[in-house]
Structure 1
Amino acid sequence: MAETGEGPPLVLLHGGGPGASGVSNYARNIAALAKEYRVVVPDLPGYGPSSKGIDRADPFGEVADRIRGLLDRLGLDKAHFIGNSLGGACALRLPGHPRPGRPDDPHGPRRPRRHPRAAHPRTQQPARLLHGEGAFTAEAGEVHPQHQDSIDPEVVAAPPLKRPKSLKTLWKMDATRDARLSRLPVPTLVLWGAADKVNKPSGGPMLADRMPNCDLYMVADTGHWVQFERAELFNRLCADFLAGRG
């Protein structure tokens, strides 16, 4: 886990692509956001040095439960959240929603936590994640750090996420279709790349229609990693939204 800056706590939850990590997903955002916030960047379960193994029947709920535990260990009663892809889906599960099929959270009700939600990476291929030319560059022969992490023997032995076996499974896992979102009062900002090739851009309006207190910004000519491809815009929008600056 990385931590920097001072101010209200802001937790950055990374995406679920093979080899993903908090610092690599938010390499272009951490320093800018740390000017106003105490930025906490964990590696989610199954990624980086975090413990391996995750409940694939409900990965969003599993990660949300563990992030609640992290907040308890840090002594944080509430926090802002930015979630990218898998991290965004988990952030939507944090404001008091128990996991499906479970009794009420044994830890009791929790205060709602504000969280903007970004676009969704689920694969390690930069060409698919990014849209604009020049958004990703690497020296000839350079191994992208996310790919290097994805071939770690522990990750290969216990991949945190596997491709769903059927569209029915994918439908159940898709956080944009969680009926409980219609009861979520937490102010939320959705940023979605209009040229996203990993998750259909129609997911952005779907969230905005379902959630009662949601702002939507469709980012033109941008792919799956809004926070990387349009870092300056992403940083400004998130910081202003969290501070209530319009």
Structure 2
Amino acid sequence: MALTYDDTSRSVRTADWTIHCQEAGPKDAPAVVLLHGSGPGATGWSNFKTNIEPLSARFRVIAPDMPGWGESDPVTTEERDHAKAAVQLLDALGIEKAAFVGNSMGGITTLRLATEYPERVSHVITMGPGSGPRPKLLTPGGGLSEGMKVLVAAYRDPSAASMKRLTEVMTYDTARFATDELAAERAASAARHPEHLANYLDGFARGGAIRRWFSLDALESTDIPALLIHGRDDRVVHFENSLTLLARIRDARLVLLNRCGHWAQVEHADEFNRLVTAFVADN
């Protein structure tokens, strides 16, 4: 029987936050932490439901709702420090070091961890992060990308119709992956926590929802092995961002997937699970 949300759900009290997460796999196996992206209604489960069980065959898998998302504590933009939260989560779970897998905002956090807390990171895996605050999430002309415009609009109007547009811009194969069921699920998740929506929009209005970025220069000194995965058809964060990261990280490799949008772990779940399993197991 497939693992369910309830099977894997737990809450963990860290030094500063209560963090809800999904957890599966042997407690004594190498740890893999899955960090979700920033959209309204995003959670560890919504981003990684097709990856948790396959990866848990080899690893102890933890997919948290980061503070400010899902069932975890609300935070303002000033209070939010996802790298610190991730380290506190490892401490609370008794994990010394983990492979971090981050989608979009979660990828930005993963790269911060690699530069600010390298002793806690065994492997870096990213899917569609920016490579810096400007112009990395923007179009060459200086405006928000198509995907970011839709994402911010969905924060302002977290209806099922808005979530449908959001899932469509996140994926290449919209007929298969941008379903009415997923849109309704994301809308319901967003509606449960209006404080998360308000905090995100407040931070966005005052200079950007992500206030702490990693340093590209610091990435050049890391020896942590990195696997960069990016969709060729990503309309949220262009794949050139991962080319920039590839040029800066010494022990890095890039997998660029055609017919793939911003959610490589969803649209190419089987290949993604094989790539992550082999990369963590063999490096």
Same fold (TM over 0.5): yes
Instruction: Tell me which residue corresponds to 1:64.
Output: 83
Q: Does structure 1 conserve the Cα–Cα contact (< 8 Å) formed by 2:25 and 2:57?
A: yes
Q: Does structure 2 conserve the Cα–Cα contact (< 8 Å) formed by 1:204 and 1:218?
A: no
Closer/same/farther in 2, CA of residues 164 and 131 from structure 1, 3 Å limit: farther
Instruction: Tell me which residue corresponds to 1:147.
Output: 187
Deviations 1:163-217 (A, max 9, x none): 3666xx6998554x62211111100100000000000111111110011111101
Closer/same/farther in 2, CA of residues 67 and 54 from structure 1, 3 Å limit: farther
Structure holding more strand per residue: 2
Unpaired segments ≥5 residues, structure 1: 99-108
Closer/same/farther in 2, CA of residues 65 and 54 from structure 1, 3 Å limit: farther
Unpaired segments ≥5 residues, structure 2: 1-20, 130-146, 152-162
Q: Does structure 2 conserve the Cα–Cα contact (< 8 Å) formed by 1:96 and 1:110?
A: no
Instruction: Tell me which residue corresponds to 1:158.
Output: 199
Query: Quick one: which amino acid aligns to residue 169 of structure 2?
Result: R
Q: Does structure 2 conserve the Cα–Cα contact (< 8 Å) formed by 1:56 and 1:161?
A: no
Where does structure 1 differ by over 6 angstroms across 4 or more consecutive aligned residues? Answer: 169-172
Deviations 1:86-111 (A, max 9, x none): 1111011113517xxxxxxxxxx834
1:22 alignment partner, one of 44, 52, 55: 44
**How far apart, CA to CA, are the structure 2 residues paired with 1:164 and 1:27?**
31
Instruction: Tell me which residue corresponds to 1:106.
Output: none
Q: How does 1:128-147 map to 2 (within 5 A)?
A: 128-139=169-180, 143-147=183-187
**How far apart, CA to CA, are the structure 2 residues paired with 1:244 and 1:54?**
39
Instruction: Tell me which residue corresponds to 2:268.
Output: 230
**How far apart, CA to CA, are the structure 2 residues paired with 1:14 and 1:170?**
15
SS of match in other structure, 2:113: coil
Query: Quick one: which amino acid aligns to residue 3 of structure 1?
Result: E
Q: Does structure 2 conserve the Cα–Cα contact (< 8 Å) formed by 1:19 and 1:147?
A: yes
Deviations 1:30-82 (A, max 9, x none): 1111111111111001011111114449x5xx100011011011111111111
Instruction: Tell me which residue corresponds to 1:87.
Output: 106
Query: Quick one: which amino acid aligns to residue 61 of structure 2?
Result: V
2:123 alignment partner, one of 108, 114, 119: 114
**How far apart, CA to CA, are the structure 1 residues paired with 2:204 and 2:184?**
22
Give how far 1:223 is off: 0.5
Closer/same/farther in 2, CA of residues 160 and 186 from structure 1, 3 Å limit: farther
Q: Does structure 2 conserve the Cα–Cα contact (< 8 Å) formed by 1:21 and 1:146?
A: no
Q: Percent identity?
A: 31
RMSD: 2.7
Instruction: Tell me which residue corresponds to 1:196.
Output: 234
Task: Provide the TM-score with structure 2 as the length reference.
Answer: 0.72
- Are positions 1:4 and 2:24 aligned together? yes
Instruction: Tell me which residue corresponds to 2:10.
Output: none
SS of match in other structure, 1:180: helix
Structure holding more helix per residue: 2
